[in-house]
Amino acid sequence: METKSKGRRLIKWSLSVAATILVLFTTFYTKSYIENNSRSSLMLESTTPYGVKSKITLPDGTLVYLNAGTTLKYPSHFSKQRVVNLTGEAYFEVFKDSKHPFWVETKGVKIKVLGTHFNVKAYENENSIETTLLEGSVGLYRGTVNDEVLVNILKPNQQAVLVKNSGEIKVNSIDANLVNAWKDGKFYFENMDFVGIAKVLERNYNVKIEIRSEELQKKKFFGIFLQNRSVYQMLDIMGIKEDFKYKRSRDTIYIY
């Protein structure tokens, strides 16, 4: 009888220990799952206001340079797909990881890379989205999540321009280093009309510019300018080529 009693106590003790281990394991697993799930789903946002540029490092080690007036959304912890959302302009140096593709989503096109250097310009108030490749290769896609369609593959020193109104994509050869000159403190204008230049100056100097002359709006400029000049110095330099005047009233510069 005593032996049976000891046996029962041993069985009860073993079951109690097993139950405790199961509870601890379940608690640990649940906590671990919740923590991992929350890390994956937590979205972060980096924004550079007008007049400001910045550089950030993403969770995977990718470097991103943000131009003025830009917002980048990304998760605090990447999963199988490294996906970020861009509004504005950014230069990416993507950390190479063949098992985890890197996606940049914009309103109009998605860019897929494995590890490369490229520039994306996707401001909401502009008529086009530009993707310029410096190193490696990138694919341009359209479509919904998990149903993307490849439309172009870029090689170094190529730029894809998506026209928002028509949806047409044009690919041009270009000196890619000039496109990302903004990262190094320079303005690069290649046959850009004055309306486009005004938008660039507005973002970088945090001012409003209104061009009163319709003829001047259509004028195009080519050149590289240092960004350490004031907006007035910039206008003075451009005014040498084109005869125009300007004045400032409160927070707006009027050009005529």
Question: Could you report the per-residue pLDDT of 27-39, keeping only the tens digit for each?
Answer: 333 343 344 444 4
Measure the CA–CA gap between 190 and 185, rounded to whole angstroms: 16
| The dihedral formed by the CA atoms of 189, 190, 192 and 196, expressed in degrees to the nearest 10 | -40
What whole-number percentage of the chain has pLDDT above 70? 82
Residue 107 has pLDDT above 70, yes or no: yes
Break the chain down into helix, strand, coil percent, rounded to 5.
Answer: 30, 40, 30
Give the per-residue pLDDT at 243: 82
Mean pLDDT of 226-235: 95
**Averaged pLDDT, 245-250:** 92
Q: Are 90 and 63 in contact (CB under 8 A)?
A: no
pLDDT of residue 21: 42
pLDDT of 240 above 50: yes
Whole-number percent of the chain with pLDDT over 90: 71
- Lowest average pLDDT, out of 45-54, 138-147, 223-232, goes to 138-147
Residue from 84, 85, 118 nearest 101 by CA: 84
Least confident of 15-19, 115-119, 215-219: 15-19
**DSSP single-letter state for residue 79:** -
Residue 180 DSSP label: G
Give the three-state DSSP class for 204. Answer: helix
The Cα 180–Cα 200 span in angstroms is 13
Condensed to tens digits (0 to 9), the pLDDT of residues 111-137 reads 999 889 999 999 999 999 999 999 999
Q: pLDDT digits over 53-72, tens only?
A: 999 999 999 999 999 999 99
Question: What residues does 111 pair with on adjacent strands?
Answer: 104, 140
Name the nearest CA neighbour of 131 among 105, 93, 158.
Answer: 158
Of 115-119, 164-168, 189-193, 241-245, minimum mean pLDDT range = 241-245
Residue range 209-229: average pLDDT? Answer: 93
Residue 197, pLDDT score: 96
**6: pLDDT strictly greater than 90:** no
